[in-house]
């Protein structure tokens, strides 16, 4: 062979090698990556998917301070106040001696949630400070050491379940109290201590699921540190253990790491966990951004801060804004979970009580558009958001922006006809529908001032034929 032939041949071999290598990189061999492709489809997960609206509760020692110390206001999130350099750590760590939510009435909490229309609640059993709201036998830093003495989680689970609301337990892996917790594992000592911490976590989680057997899922937090990321194998085996212990259990993507320490999505880009839990106060812009996964969005009334804050800093979301966020989430196949930060006496601040009531009043009329509905597959349209029933027979237009013409321009899928349109408040009265060019429908509503977002229900018929003009986009 001439030198030239050898060179060309080598290049050929090299190029095959490169191509093969690209494919090999597409799928990294993982023992602790995603164990499922696509959505989880069992009954429990379908129930989760149908919730639409949830409640989050942040309650703990930080609720006593309410974001203030010594007359000064902490600018960070109130449940993070322990990390404020103006607050001596021993002051925070002694707060448990005053923790006494004497006005805590689990039935009242559950009644408020029920009235608001929430289908599930997530409650902090142990936030980053390590303080446990249940009498854990594995910790010396629990509610039994406080003047209150009694368990809060058990009565809460019971009261919410009595109202038909599912309970999820929030649990932080990050733990400022445990001597064994580490943010990284650098030495042999670190790894010995963290090994003890892992046993502690497993014991506590087992205890929670055993003591509160109606728990539907665990909402994990504080899993972003290197110590946890270096323990992908452990996180995977713990998740599998918890699911065997508690069949149907739902755990989001914030829990574990893969072999290489990747979180949420494994090193091959596949979602780990039962739903994407990445959106803290963030809502994806469009359906593509959800990657067709289940997801939830946890939201605060304020701009930041989850625990009780005496002073509201910055913008405070109005009920209509929250309803818009709720409908946007549901229209993109996600659940919307609104956070509450009760005061240390165990009661809710008036603003939260009032907002819960207003959301509940709206839900009483419009919840058919929220519960057990899903993404319509339509593009986002100017008037607001849309959802569709599971069977695809009813679609809901949740209207936020009404055109001055009073004609709401709707674009369905090509094979969907609208048989009937009516206000959800009165489905006996049909609103006029006109078919216009390019498959649009104009639905006429009275030209008046609408004070709240409202819902139009559509009866959808799947047609075989495409509507004239809709099937093609001719350029002339
Ligand atoms: O304290 C918040 C709250 O519990 C929320 C659901 N998650 C916690 C949290 N800790 C963070 C640390 C860094 C960045 C964002 C955080 N959110």
Rounded distance from Cα 294 to ligand 1 centre (Å): 21
Rounded distance from Cα 71 to ligand 1 centre (Å): 25
Site to substitute for ligand 1 among 57, 76, 80, most atoms within 8 A of C-beta = 80
Q: Are 294 and 307 in contact, with CB atoms under 8 Å apart? A: no
Kindly give the number of the ligand 1 atom that is closest to the alpha carbon of 58. 4
Tens of each residue's pLDDT in the chain, 476 residues: 455 555 545 544 444 444 344 344 568 999 999 999 999 999 999 999 999 999 999 999 999 999 999 999 999 999 999 999 999 999 999 999 999 999 999 999 999 999 999 999 999 999 999 999 999 999 999 999 999 999 999 999 999 999 999 999 999 999 999 999 999 999 999 999 999 999 999 999 999 999 999 999 999 999 999 999 999 999 999 999 999 999 999 999 999 999 999 999 999 999 999 999 977 999 999 999 999 999 999 999 999 999 999 998 789 999 999 999 999 999 999 999 999 999 999 999 999 999 999 999 999 999 999 999 999 999 999 999 999 999 999 999 999 999 999 999 999 999 999 999 999 999 999 999 999 999 999 999 999 999 999 999 999 998 875 545 444 445 55
Rounded distance from Cα 306 to ligand 1 centre (Å): 8
Kindly give the number of the ligand 1 atom that is closest to the alpha carbon of 124. 4
Q: Specify the pLDDT at position 5.
A: 54
Residue nearest to atom 3 of ligand 1 (CA): 306
Rounded distance from Cα 265 to ligand 1 centre (Å): 19
Rounded distance from Cα 142 to ligand 1 centre (Å): 21
Site to substitute for ligand 1 among 84, 303, 306, most atoms within 8 A of C-beta = 306
- Ligand 1 pocket, Cβ-based, cut-off 6 angstroms: 58, 77, 79-80, 221, 280, 298, 306
Site to substitute for ligand 1 among 77, 130, 278, 281, most atoms within 8 A of C-beta = 77
Domains and CATH numbers, the chain: 43-369 (3.20.20.80), 376-475 (2.60.40.1180)
Neighbouring CB atoms inside 10 A of 340's CB total 25
Close Cβ partners of 319 (under 8 Å, ≥ 6 residues apart): 355, 358, 359, 362
Rounded distance from Cα 55 to ligand 1 centre (Å): 16
Close Cβ partners of 214 (under 8 Å, ≥ 6 residues apart): 157, 161, 167
Residue nearest to atom 11 of ligand 1 (CA): 222
Rounded distance from Cα 253 to ligand 1 centre (Å): 15
Rounded distance from Cα 80 to ligand 1 centre (Å): 8
Q: Specify the pLDDT at position 17.
A: 43
Kindly give the number of the ligand 1 atom that is closest to the alpha carbon of 79. 1
């Amino acid at each position: 062979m001439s030198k030239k032939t050898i060179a060309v041949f080598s290049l050929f071999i090299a190029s095959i090698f490169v191509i093969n290598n690209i494919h090999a990189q597409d799928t990294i061999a993982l023992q602790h990556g995603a164990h499922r492709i696509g959505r989880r489809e069992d009954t429990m997960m379908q129930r989760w998917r149908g919730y639409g609206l949830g409640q989050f509760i942040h309650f703990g020692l930080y609720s006593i301070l309410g974001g203030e110390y010594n007359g000064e206001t902490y600018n960070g999130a109130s449940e993070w106040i322990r990390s404020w350099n103006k607050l001596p750590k021993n002051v925070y760590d002694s707060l448990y001696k005053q923790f006494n939510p004497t006005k805590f009435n689990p039935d009242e909490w559950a009644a408020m949630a029920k009235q608001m229309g929430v289908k599930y609640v997530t409650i902090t059993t142990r936030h980053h400070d390590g303080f446990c709201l249940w009498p854990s036998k594995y910790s010396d830093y629990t509610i039994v050491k406080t003047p209150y003495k009694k368990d809060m989680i058990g009565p809460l689970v019971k009261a919410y379940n009595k109202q038909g609301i599912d309970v999820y337990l929030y649990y932080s892996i990050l733990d400022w109290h445990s001597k064994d917790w580490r943010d990284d594992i650098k030495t042999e000592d670190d790894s010995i201590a963290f090994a003890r911490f892992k046993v502690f976590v497993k014991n506590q989680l087992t205890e929670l699921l055993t003591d509160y057997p109606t728990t539907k899922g665990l909402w994990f937090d504080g899993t972003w540190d290197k110590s946890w990321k270096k323990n992908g194998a452990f996180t995977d085996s713990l998740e599998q253990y918890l699911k065997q212990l508690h069949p149907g259990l739902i755990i989001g993507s914030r829990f574990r790491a893969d072999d290489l320490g990747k979180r949420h999505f494994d090193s091959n880009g596949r979602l780990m966990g039962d739903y994407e839990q990445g959106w803290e106060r963030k809502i994806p812009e469009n359906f593509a951004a959800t990657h067709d996964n289940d997801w939830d969005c946890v939201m605060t009334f304020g701009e930041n801060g989850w625990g009780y804050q005496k002073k509201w800093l910055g913008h405070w979301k109005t009920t209509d804004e929250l309803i818009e966020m709720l409908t946007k989430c549901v229209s993109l196949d996600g659940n919307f979970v609104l956070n509450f930060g009760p005061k240390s006496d165990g009661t809710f601040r008036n603003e939260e009580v009032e907002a819960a009531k207003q959301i509940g009043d709206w839900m009483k009329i419009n919840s058919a558009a929220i519960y057990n509905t899903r993404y319509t597959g339509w593009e986002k349209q100017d008037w607001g958001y849309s959802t569709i029933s599971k069977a695809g027979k009813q679609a809901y237009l949740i209207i936020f922006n009404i055109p001055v013409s009073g004609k709401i321009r709707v674009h369905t899928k090509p094979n969907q006809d609208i048989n009937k349109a009516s206000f959800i408040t009165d489905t006996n009265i049909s609103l006029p529908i006109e078919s216009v060019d390019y498959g649009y429908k104009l639905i006429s509503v009275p030209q008046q001032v609408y004070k709240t977002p409202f819902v139009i229900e559509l009866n959808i018929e799947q047609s075989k034929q495409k509507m004239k003009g809709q099937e093609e986009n001719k350029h002339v």
